[in-house]
Structure 1
Amino acid sequence: MLNWRPAWKIGKRWLWFVHRWLGVAACLFFVLWFLSGLVMMYVQFPHFVESERVAHSQPLDWSKVRIGPQAAVEKAKAKAFPADLTLSMWSGEPVYRVVEGRKRIGVSAVDGRVIGEIDATKAKAVVASAWPGTSPHLLRTLERDQWTVAQGFNASRPLHLFALDDPAGTQVYVGSKGGEIVLDTNPTERFWNWLGAVPHWLYFTALRSMPQAWNEVVLWTSGIGMVSAVSGLWIGVLRVRLKRRYAGGRMSPYRGWMTWHHLAGLIGGVFVLTWVFSGWMSMNPNDWGGPGEAVMMGRKAWMTPPKTPYPLDTTALRTRTGDRLARFYWLGERPLLLVNTGPDAQRVLDPINGAPVTFTDAELFEKAAGLVPGAHLVMRDRLTRDDAYWYSHHDRAPLPVLRAGFDDPARNWFYIDPKSGRMVGVADNSLRLYRWTFSALHSLDFRFLIAHRPLWDVVVWLLSILGLIVSVSGVVIGWRRIGADLASLKKKRA
């Protein structure tokens, strides 16, 4: 009969050794991540979303539009009519923004020139136009800083940074390539993000400017955290006694900080493990959370324009006032124009005669029926409130929205805006699994909790405090252990 005791004895010794020394590093990161995570509940990383872009855009002067969207695409040398083509005012003239991959190319709607590199003087005029009544002054021109370190800004670098004289202390970044406003920040969000997203994501400029290195650091640190959590849970279960208790009727053999670490780890260890695992999953290792080919092919089919040129007649549009952003797109063979008159006010128009356009749900579902070849459309839902996969807790998910679902093995779903007919989201088995292994586990954005705030806040705070007890006690224990080992080594040398 095989004797497992020697192997088990060696295994336990290694288990203790791994947890003891990996835990010293892991608990430091846990303290950092739990505290910064609490800040991130209420303060987002600086970003410049479309609603802000609309709010800071001057009303479109349609009478100045001489170049049509098709000509703008050709001037930008885009390979095809883009999925994202907009028109807005830029320092007094209407300018198209042609988005192709990571590139955003500006083309004047007045004379068709491509907006190339601009100097600080021109950039100042752009900011003054977007924030009327302010006196922007140039702080510096830079390649990147803490708030613009992401690769999404690469096409616009270098960046002109301006400070406004407004009460909020706003700072605005303008890309020297293309002259587009790419970001605005204020002192409050900058301060809190140094305590929130920056340490939580390990988003320090020197590291984040090297994407591959940053990716590896996040994966390895969270991986170490997972090993530490698993080994700690294992040891905690081995050392707890519910029946044959330790002296004094105690469940734990430890004293002081060790007791706190042991019992808090037993209670909150699973949460710590799932939380650090979901943080690891946020990096989408090996593209495990990526969409399948079928759902992406369906999305592409919906967005692919016909071979015919996009038509635009501004005659009827010249009487319109208050349009701040216009988006040009195709729905099948039909050209459409989506205009924003405010951050949350949109209207769909016919680009030829300017007439309002509306769709019926049946019309859009009929068009969606062929998105997945060989599969049947079995789900035709109009969502008027969040569900488990379409929710606005972190990302803006417009409602109402149509959900078209198929009976193929990947259970492909497509989300369609019933007002514009644009596809605004997709889901399949892989993306839905990623929603649970990342978003749900990491942010606890379960539908019941986020629908009953502040219940969500209370639960997250309580679990984070429990995680802090585990990690802070681990830091104290580790610090004392290192101190004792150093003292012992010093004594031996003496």
Structure 2
Amino acid sequence: MMSTLKRLLYQLHRWTGVAACVLMLLWFISGMVMLFVGYPKLTPWERLAALPPLPLAGCCQPLAQVAMPVDAREIVLTTVAGRPGWKVRDGGARWRLVDAVTGKLLQPASRDTALASARAFVPGAGAHYLGLLQEDRWTHSRSLDAHRPLHQVQLMDAAQTMLYLSSATGEVVLDAPRDQRLWNFVGAWLHWVYPLRNHSTDPVWNWIIIISSAVATLTALTGTVAGIWRWRFAGRYKSGARTPYRESWMRWHHVTGLLFAGFVFAWIFSGLISMNPFHIFDPQGRRPDLAAWQGGTPAARQLDLAPQLALSLLAAQGFRAVELEWRVLNKQPYLLARDGAARTRLIMRQDGQLVVREQWTQAQLLHAASKLLPGIKASSAWLGSYDSYYYGREPEAMMGAVERRLPVLQLRFDDPQANWVYLDPYTGTVALGVDRRQRVSRWLFSFLHSWDLPPLLRSGPWRESVLILLSLGGLALSATGMVIGWRRLRGKWRAVTSGVSRYN
């Protein structure tokens, strides 16, 4: 029985490894590139740094006089193509642009608007309009769906930046410098097998990755077991070695496999988990009620404050806003202001007076948080440093465009799903919400795949150096496996063709 089991395991490793080693080789190469060059994205810091301060005079109509959809969920005063405008997102998640000077709804962004916006993004750079597209290799992100189709503009700057702009508003939604695009051909674009992806939502691509990752995981697991079985921990083979393999490629494959088996298996398995097969890590049961947390929409509850007065109040404190966003927290309307360095300020009414503040108080946040999961007890704590779930990443990382400010208020609810939420006092938003399943996924994917615990992230080049060393071990294991697989296939082919020749 044991001999049959061993033979089956050897055969599984041998034949799944023929194809899996090729994929694993590409994944290790591209994974090392991704440590330093990420998939193109426009971070909040890049976007805000490119915006001019909103003018203190002669700028904007009062919000009450603006052609605003009755179901507006997001209302932002910003600058598009060098001109102040209201960005409005309705209940159907569609973006619209309203002229801030006239208060009139504008048509979808034209070619000229896209070019003007591109030139404003990098002043002084020439711009060449390439056309309108639905999606290409750099724009698979679902966050861009509300802006499609996208205008594509090539800048003539030193970085040869490719810009993608919203057809709804005309704003820049993604930038991709030439060097980043070139590195991505052997980085994220290759790592995520994007040559096979056609749309932002592509179930065929999704299942190709799941099945490929599952096969590679099986290869790594069976190889680890087979390698341990064949290694002589006590005693030696007749050759005097602890490995039975005399041929150099087989011997090196066996040795490197034992040295790096744990890392390779964990890394490939975590890649499989990242695809959330069969939605096993989707949140279950009751979820925090974000609508109740807000207590209304900006269209229904607005802070009665003219934009010019808001900008003057901020300027008096030395804060030059590039964006103003109308928001609601626990039925209280307020303004969230951002400057070019992504700093924030809040404007709200307190005791009948307009005040500018940096943060919501803990009492205000806790009162609003009681609406998230009514009737459920929760413990709270201020976090002055990142924990294992709420933490920032470098811009090149997959989540590198997510803002993670400190301090943050953490709530742990005593519900069956063990929901945790993190409340950002600077913006009045739920910065992160995770239940028990999502926290398990965080360990099985993020930690195993990229070693992203805050202490490790703070270690700087040490983390990258160790990951590169381990990836080189995985690369050597995959490369030796490829050579062995090629030799085996070539031998099988020769046997078949020689048999056919003799028959003929």
TM-score for both structures, normalised by structure 2:
0.88
Of 49, 58, 68, the residue aligned with 2:52 is: 58
> What residue number does 1:444 align with?
451
Matched residues in 2 for 1:165 and 1:362: separation? 51
Q: How far did 1:264 drift? A: 1.7
Say if 1:308 and 1:170 are closer, same or farther in 2 by CA, change over 3 A. closer
Query: What is the RMSD of the two structures over their aligned residues, measured on CA atoms?
Result: 2.5
Matched residues in 2 for 1:205 and 1:180: separation? 29
Q: What is the one-letter code of the residue matched to 1:381?
A: A
> What residue number does 1:128 align with?
119
> What residue number does 1:361 align with?
362
> What residue number does 1:287 align with?
279
Of 317, 337, 341, the residue aligned with 2:310 is: 317
> What residue number does 2:253 align with?
261
**Partners of 2:50 and 2:340 within 8 A in 1:** no
> What residue number does 2:377 align with?
376
Matched residues in 2 for 1:89 and 1:151: separation? 24
Q: Which moved more, 1:168-177 or 1:314-323?
A: 314-323
Say if 1:171 and 1:154 are closer, same or farther in 2 by CA, change over 3 A. same
Pairing 1:178-327 to 2, within 5 Å after superposition: 178-204=169-195, 207-208=198-199, 211-255=202-246, 256-294=248-286, 296-305=287-296, 308-314=300-306, 316-317=309-310, 319=312, 322-327=320-325
Matched residues in 1 for 2:285 and 2:19: separation? 40
> What residue number does 1:453 align with?
460
Q: How far did 1:73 drift? A: 4.4
Q: Which moved more, 1:253-262 or 1:202-211?
A: 202-211
**Partners of 1:67 and 1:111 within 8 A in 2:** no
Q: Structure 1, residues 257-300: CA drift from partner, whole Å, max 9, x if none?
A: 11111122222222211211111111122222223343x33434
> What residue number does 1:143 align with?
134
Q: Give the secondary structure class of the aligned counterpart of 2:239.
A: helix
Q: How far did 1:246 drift? A: 1.0
- Residue identity (%): 34
Pairing 1:349-428 to 2, within 5 Å after superposition: 349-350=347-348, 355-357=355-357, 358-378=359-379, 380-393=380-393, 394=397, 395=399, 396-428=403-435
Q: How far did 1:25 drift? A: 0.5
**Partners of 1:69 and 1:328 within 8 A in 2:** no
Q: How far did 1:370 drift? A: 4.8
Matched residues in 2 for 1:348 and 1:181: separation? 25
**Partners of 2:422 and 2:431 within 8 A in 1:** yes
**Partners of 1:118 and 1:179 within 8 A in 2:** yes
Q: Give the secondary structure class of the aligned counterpart of 1:138.
A: strand
Q: Structure 1, residues 416-460: CA drift from partner, whole Å, max 9, x if none?
A: 112232221112211211110110011111333222222211221
User: Which runs of no fewer than 5 residues in structure 2 stay unpaired?
Assistant: none
> What residue number does 1:334 align with?
332
Number of aligned residue pairs: give it.
481
> What residue number does 2:83 align with?
93
Q: What is the one-letter code of the residue matched to 1:241?
A: R
Q: What is the one-letter code of the residue matched to 2:338?
A: N
Does residue 155 (structure 1) correspond to residue 162 (structure 2)? The answer is no
User: Which runs of no fewer than 5 residues in structure 1 stay unpaired?
Assistant: none
Q: Give the secondary structure class of the aligned counterpart of 2:78.
A: strand
> What residue number does 2:346 align with?
348
Q: Which moved more, 1:32-41 or 1:58-67?
A: 58-67
Q: Structure 1, residues 172-193: CA drift from partner, whole Å, max 9, x if none?
A: 2223333222211111111111
TM-score for both structures, normalised by structure 1:
0.90
Say if 1:155 and 1:386 are closer, same or farther in 2 by CA, change over 3 A. closer
> What residue number does 1:30 align with?
24
Q: Give the secondary structure class of the aligned counterpart of 2:194.
A: coil
Q: How far did 1:202 drift? A: 0.6
